[in-house]
């Protein structure tokens, strides 16, 4: 598939979603659909879908213990083994997983190989992807957590704290959050590398651009709502609390931009179970990472192990007995 075509289709799809929300709210006035029904449906699809996918994976057996050993395994006591890269204890495995999930350990190993005249290969460290990935995910997380102020009657103190740290540098009024900046910068970087690096352009599908645009759209609409077309936060809270108390209300006076934001979030939620964003659940289940390298010291059972056709020693000796005797090799049957 042509790369630009992939970018284009994904972009058109996201723009269409934005227009749909604008049209629905402004022209047709379907505020309760966009403000209540669609978010509810999206939540249901999200939770049911994610659970379904994870249960689907968990139900499939892991027939063999196949950790990738990223360091020296445990062997003789005087040989230093790598506790987290080739773990042999449960704690080691948990730490390995934690490093993967929290710090993207494997991605941090990244290097870039280039072939030059000669030919010879040169390597350069390439932690940009790691950095952008970390920024992207952590700013995303921060933003989600900051949203908690809409979901609790009394804003939890850690959210307040987070918000004040996040807004420490009081750029602009109202404060532009660092996480918003980091988030938009990271999404931009992740998008640019996909279109600029020839190899990335080659492997990317519309399904890779679509979530980036969608998430970018959410971010942009969010920042616009904060800095440009300000919305009344009390009304927003009235709406969100309505969702949670199952007495949904649609307050008057929320601008279209708000509905666009909520609609894009709904689309993201509903899209997640069907998409690669499910990687968040997959990390935990990956057999090359979540198993201990105790292959030779502990039994591992394959639930569907079945008998296979083998060539027995008796069959072997029957074929070669005379030759074996001639060569002086002991045999079982004379």
Partner 1 sequence: MELDKLPKPEEMQIDLTPPESGWMDTPVNMRDGTYSYPAAAKNLKILDMPNPREWSVTADDWKLPQNWQEIILEGFKERLEKYRSFKLFMDICVRCGACADKCHFFIGSGDPKNMPVLRAELLRSVYRKNFSTLGRMLGRFSGSRELTLPVLKEWFYYFFQCTECRRCSVYCPYGIDTAEVTMIGRELLNLVGLNINWVIEPVANCFRTGNHLGIPPHGLIDMWEFMVDDIEDITGIKVDLPVNKKGAEILFVTPSGDYFADPGTYTCMGYLMLFHELGLDYTWSTYASEGGNFGLFTSHEMIKRLNAKIYAEAKRLGVKWIIGGECGHMWRVMHQYMETMNGPADFLEEPVSPITGTKFENSKQTKMVHITEFTSDLIRNGKLKLDPSRNDRFRVTYHDSCNPARAAGLMEEPRYVLRNVVNNFFEMPENSIREHTYCCGGGAGLGNDENLDMRMRGGFPRANAVRHVRDKHDVNRLICMCAIDRATLTALMHYWAPDVEVGGIHELLANALIMEGEHERKLDLRGEPFSGEEEDEDV
136 binds, among partner 1, ligand HEM, none (CB under 5 to 8 A by kind): ligand HEM
Q: Is residue 110 a contact residue for partner 1 (CB under 8 A)? A: yes
Choosing from 105, 208, 210, 293, the residue that interacts with ligand HEM (CB under 6 A) is 208
DSSP at 73: P
Whole-angstrom Cα distance, residue 49 to residue 278? 10
Distance (Å, rounded) from C-alpha 252 to C-alpha 88? 60
Cis peptide bond prior to 120, omega within 30° of 0 = no
Establish if 13 lies at the interface with ligand HEM (CB under 6 A): no
Only one residue has tokens 């179970």, namely: 273
Of residues 223-262, those binding partner 1 (CB under 8 A): none
Contacts (CB under 8 A) with partner 1, residues 82-101: 82, 85-86, 100
Work out what residue 246 binds among partner 1, ligand HEM, none; the CB cut-off runs from 5 to 8 Å by kind.
Answer: none
195 near ligand HEM (CB under 6 A): no
Nearest residue to 215 (alpha-carbon basis) of 144, 152, 131, 134: 144
Q: Is 309 in the site for partner 1 (CB under 8 A)?
A: yes
With CB under 5 to 8 Å by kind, the binding choice for 172 among ligand HEM, partner 1, none is none
Provide the 10 A C-beta neighbour count for residue 267.
22
Pick 69 or 227: Cβ nearer partner 1: 69
Contacts of 180 (CB under 8 A, 6+ apart): 139, 143, 219, 222, 223, 226
Closer to partner 1 at the Cβ: 160 or 314?
314
Say which residue the tokens 């799809």 belong to.
Answer: 13
Would you tell me the crossing angle of helices 256-271 and 38-59 to the nearest 10 degrees? 20
What is the Cα–Cα distance from 21 to 228, expressed in whole angstroms?
19
Pair of tokens at residue 39:
């978010």
Considering beta carbons, is residue 230 or 276 the nearer one to partner 1?
A: 276
Q: Where do we find the tokens 């609790």?
A: 152
Output the smallest distance, CB 56 to partner 1, in A. Answer: 8
Gap between the Cα atoms of 69 and 58, Å rounded: 23
Query: From the CB of 131, what's the least distance to ligand HEM, in Å?
Result: 9
- Interactions with partner 1, residue window 43-62 (CB under 8 A): 53, 56-58, 60-62
Among 34, 88, 104, 271, binds ligand HEM (CB under 6 A): 104
By CB under 8 A, is residue 145 in contact with partner 1? no
* Binding region for ligand HEM (CB under 6 A): 101, 104, 107, 129, 132-133, 136-137, 190, 208, 211-212, 215, 277, 279-280, 283
């Amino acid at each position: 598939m042509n790369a630009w075509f992939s970018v284009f289709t994904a972009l058109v799809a996201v723009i269409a979603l934005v227009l749909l929300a604008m049209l629905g709210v402004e022209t047709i006035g379907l505020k309760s659909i966009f403000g209540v029904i669609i978010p509810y449906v999206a939540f249901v699809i999200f939770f049911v879908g994610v659970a379904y996918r994870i249960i689907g994976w968990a139900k499939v057996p892991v027939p063999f213990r196949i950790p990738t050993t990223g360091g020296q395994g445990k062997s003789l006591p005087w040989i230093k083994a790598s506790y987290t890269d080739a773990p042999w204890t449960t704690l080691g495995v948990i730490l390995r997983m934690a490093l993967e999930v929290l710090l993207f350990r494997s991605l941090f190993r990244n290097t870039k190989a280039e072939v030059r005249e000669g030919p010879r290969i040169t390597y350069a460290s390439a932690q940009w992807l790691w950095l952008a990935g970390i920024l992207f995910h952590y700013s995303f997380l921060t933003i989600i957590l900051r949203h908690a102020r809409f979901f609790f009657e009394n804003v939890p103190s850690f959210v307040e704290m987070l918000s004040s740290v996040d807004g420490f540098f009081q750029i602009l009024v109202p404060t532009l959050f660092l996480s918003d900046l980091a988030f938009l910068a990271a999404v931009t970087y992740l998008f640019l590398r996909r279109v600029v690096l020839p190899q990335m352009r080659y492997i990317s599908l519309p399904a890779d651009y679509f979530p980036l645009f969608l998430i970018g759209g959410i971010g942009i609409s969010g920042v616009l709502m904060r800095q440009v077309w300000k919305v009344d936060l009390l009304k927003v809270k009235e709406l969100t609390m309505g969702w949670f108390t199952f007495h949904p209300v649609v307050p008057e006076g929320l601008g279209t931009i708000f509905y666009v934001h909520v609609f894009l979030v709904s689309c993201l939620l509903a899209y997640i179970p069907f998409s690669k964003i499910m990687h968040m659940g997959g990390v935990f289940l990956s057999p090359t990472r979540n198993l201990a390298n105790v292959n030779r010291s502990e039994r591992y059972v394959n639930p569907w192990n079945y008998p296979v056709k083998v060539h027995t020693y008796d069959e072997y000796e029957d074929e070669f007995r005379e030759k074996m005797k001639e060569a002086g090799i002991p045999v079982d049957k004379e």
